Chains A and B, each alone.
Chain A
Amino acid sequence: MAIEAVYFDGETARDNKVVVSLEASGLRISGESVPAQTWDLPGLTAIDPPHLEHPLRLSHESQAGARLSIRNDAFTKQLLIAAPHLKGGFHPQRALRLFLWIGGGLTILAGLTYLTLNFAPQRLAVLLPDAWSKRVGEQMEASLVQNAKVCQTPDGDRALAAMLANLAESTPDMPPLRVRIYDIPIMNAFALPGGFIVLTHGLLREASDPGEVAGVVAHEIGHVAHHHPEAQMIRIAGMQVLISVATGTSGGNNASSLAGLAAILKSTRDAEREADAYAVGMLSAARVDPMALKTFFEKILKEEGKSSGSAFSNLGTVFSTHPVTTERIERIKPLPADVVLKSPLSDMQWKALKEICG
């Protein structure tokens, strides 16, 4: 069967009328203005899958630029029987190549994710120069407390200093710190890069015993000692880079708000466990009853149970960033009976601390 078709040579836009016939060796093409040639069937490619009202367009590997355009349904049908690969559809080789490219991309992304979220932060945190973490911590503290007032009274400041001194007494390698109490009603405590620890008025109000406050402070000191806030900051920064890698854009463009998030996001379970262990060690060394921390954790757990109905009431409380679990509570054990316990503050000092926000 020989039919008329149009041939484009890829050199000019001239449409060459040709006669095409299907033979055993392939498609034989001949015409006045075209050198006679035969396109073998395996080398043929359909530009798009055959479709009614659309010409069947073919190219051949021997002549990359040339195109053959056939408008003859009967001939097309015959050709498709002889060369079924022209029907299109699934192309295993192409699919494999695509799979490799995308799979490779996703693997790299997964590797980067692991690196930035799990592997690198804690290791880099230790290497971070103090001056850097101090600068960042200070800015984060300012942006987190907004315009809340710092609670300060001469007696209250002295009481706070005394509590820290008591804790530090038997823990000589305690990192340098700055603890501040802010007049914020919700109950919260957090440690920021550079050794900045923030307590809220709400937390002081809930505590019924100086040991409870000392416990929370010791826990936050534990975070500082283990460089958790710095690690968290690096993790968040890494996340920003990852988002930008994944989307191919410059990400949210808001490094600052993301860095602020570092303090709000849940810390890892391991970090909490480490801070708890540090706190218990510190309290025991200072002969402060760790059971007070336990009592305070139980209070928090009860508080959480009460408000679990609404997501909002949990936000911004100490428990959302450091979720208290029964597992964590059970790990806190009383000191041996022969240890003489000491209160971290005298009654007078405790009263002064409680009244520090007026």
Chain B
Amino acid sequence: MADSLGNAGEHIRLDYVPRAGLGRLAIVNFLLNVVTLTLYRFWAKTNVRKHIWSCVHINGQPLEYTGRGIELFKGALLVFGLFVLPFVLVATFISIALGPEHPALFAVYGLLYLLIFLLWGAALYRARRYQLSRTLWRGIRGTLVGSSMIYSLTFFGAMLARGMSLGWTTPVLNTVLQEQIIGDMRFGDLAFKFKGRAGPLYPTYALCWFLSLLALIVFAFVFGAEVAALLGPEVQNVFDDIFKPDSEPTSDQIWTASTVIAILAFSFLAMFLVIPMLWAIYSAKELATFAAYTRAGNATFKLNATAGSLISLVIVNLLILIFTLGIGRPFMQHRLIRYMCDRLEVVGTIDVHRIAQSQAVLDRSGEGLADAFDLGVV
């Protein structure tokens, strides 16, 4: 460990040191969730974070998660009582008083969705702030010092602009949003800074955009041909024969029918897999770029994110989710955090000894909005 003689700073090194017990935790959490009609989810989430946080060692000292299940529970109750329940009650009242097809009902739900979109960014920001304020390293906690509402408005505006520009403003907007949130981030009194242009992201963005367009065109073509074949008399007759009662289709007919169905299913699947995979190239570039734009003290960050590794991270996580029926969710988080720790490098030094405790007031409850919107934040 470093000496105490007030030198220029320490080099920072991240290690992910796994510890046993995550599997047991996953199963216990699952069982208690079932027994309590998911009310236990707040405590479950907390226990998983405690475990995973303690596996992240920075210069040999693990992180500590000090959040409590009850804080998440209160946060959810608060948002539910002040935000969700009034809407549900008004909507229920309208559907009884004015009828289930009355336009006022659609107006109420329209307003609800508008509010959800307006508050989406705030939900993310507040969840991040709560987690940072519950994360200790060497006894010092983090926080976000800015306003969640300003972030939320930016986020909402970005959502609209992104849609209107067919996505082409994404790199600029993501950079702006990242600058806001990183600029607000503190560890104790150590400020993080984010500075950089979106320009270098554009070549990769353009590549992914045009590749996706190409993929879409190819799929549309394959799909069109498929549908044409399906509607054509030949295949139609085969299907008619197969679905006739008491039919005994020939193996040729079955072959034709299953080929048609298989190609159809495959092109659908491919569409939902290939396009996100293409975008992993951009995601990797953005992650790496944003890390490089981030500074803390005299240190910069280097994230060795690649499209291939991101894809395999996400696909294995998806497989875990599917094959454990969601019970293995903690392992998805564990893999994500490990990925970050393994690939994040801190270049330069931070004068850790001078970092003083954060004076920000602690929220007494957390993540209510995020829970209501089911954001599934780590």
Contacts and interface: CB of A to CB of B under 8 A. Distances in A.
Given A10-B357, A142-B101, A237 B138 contact: no
B374 interface: yes
Given A54-B17, A251-B88, A11 B4 contact: no
B100 A143 contact: yes
Given A54-B19, A109-B37, A250 B84 contact: yes
Contact of A106 (B4, B39, B88, B100): B39
A233 B85 contact: no
A245 B87 CA distance: 12
Interface in B66-112: 69-70, 73, 76, 79-80, 84-85, 87-89, 91-92, 94-102, 105, 109, 112
Nearest to A66: B139
A185 interface: no
A139 interface: yes
Interface in A208-232: none
Interface string A40-75: 000000011101011101000000011101000000
A101 B100 contact: no
A49 B22 CA distance: 13
A106 B37 contact: yes
Contacts of B352: 13-15
Interface stretch (A147-155, A255-263, A321-329, A350-358): A255-263
A67 B138 contact: yes
B46 to A, nearest CB: 11
Contacts of B79: 248
Contact of B89 (A55, A241, A259): A241
A13 B353 contact: yes
Interface stretch (A130-138, A169-177, A267-275, A309-317): A130-138
B147 interface: no
A23 interface: no
Contact of A237 (B87, B95, B356, B372): B95
Interface in B323-351: none
Contacts of B70: 101
Contacts, number: 162
Contacts of B286: none
A309 B21 CA distance: 49
A102 B136 CA distance: 28
Nearest to A16: B4
A233 B372 CA distance: 26
A249 interface: yes
B372 A255 contact: no
B43 interface: yes
A49 B20 CA distance: 11
Which of A33, A255, A259 gathers most chain B CB within 10 Å? Answer: A255
A247 B373 CA distance: 11
A308 to B, nearest CB: 21
A102 B139 contact: no
Nearest to B62: A54
B195 interface: no
Which of B2, B4, B105 gathers most chain A CB within 10 Å? Answer: B4
Contact of B137 (A13, A55, A128): A13
B371 interface: yes
A147 to B, nearest CB: 15
B50 interface: yes
Interface residues of A, number: 62
A256 B101 contact: yes
Interface in B33-80: 36-40, 43, 50-51, 54, 60-62, 64, 69-70, 73, 76, 79-80
Classify chain B's interface size.
35 or more
Given A139-B100, A248-B80, A13 B188 contact: yes
B354 interface: yes
B267 to A, nearest CB: 31
A8 B138 contact: yes
Contacts of B87: 250
A105 B74 CA distance: 12
A140 B20 CA distance: 57
B21 to A, nearest CB: 8
B248 to A, nearest CB: 23
A6 interface: yes
A240 B94 CA distance: 13
Contact of B17 (A53, A66, A142): A53
A55 B137 CA distance: 13
Contact of B40 (A47, A102, A139): A102
A250 B112 contact: yes
A9 B97 CA distance: 62
A36 B136 CA distance: 24
Given A47-B54, A101-B70, A13 B355 contact: yes
A66 B95 CA distance: 56
A168 to B, nearest CB: 27
Contacts of B40: 102
A105 B17 contact: no
Given A17-B1, A105-B39, 20 more contacts: A9-B139, A11-B357, A12-B357, A13-B188, A14-B4, A15-B1, A15-B2, A51-B19, A54-B17, A67-B136, A67-B139, A98-B69, A102-B36, A105-B36, A132-B98, A136-B95, A234-B96, A237-B95, A246-B38, A260-B100
27 contacts: A13-B138, A13-B140, A13-B352, A14-B353, A15-B61, A53-B19, A54-B19, A55-B60, A57-B62, A65-B357, A67-B64, A67-B139, A101-B70, A106-B36, A132-B96, A132-B98, A136-B95, A140-B99, A233-B96, A240-B88, A240-B92, A241-B85, A246-B37, A250-B84, A250-B88, A259-B95, A259-B100
Q: Which 5 A-B pairs have the closest CB atoms?
A: A259-B100, A8-B139, A256-B100, A139-B99, A13-B355
Interface of A: 6, 8-17, 32-33, 47-49, 51, 53-55, 57, 65-67, 69, 98, 101-102, 105-106, 109, 128-129, 132, 135-136, 138-140, 142-143, 233-234, 237-238, 240-241, 244-251, 253, 255-260
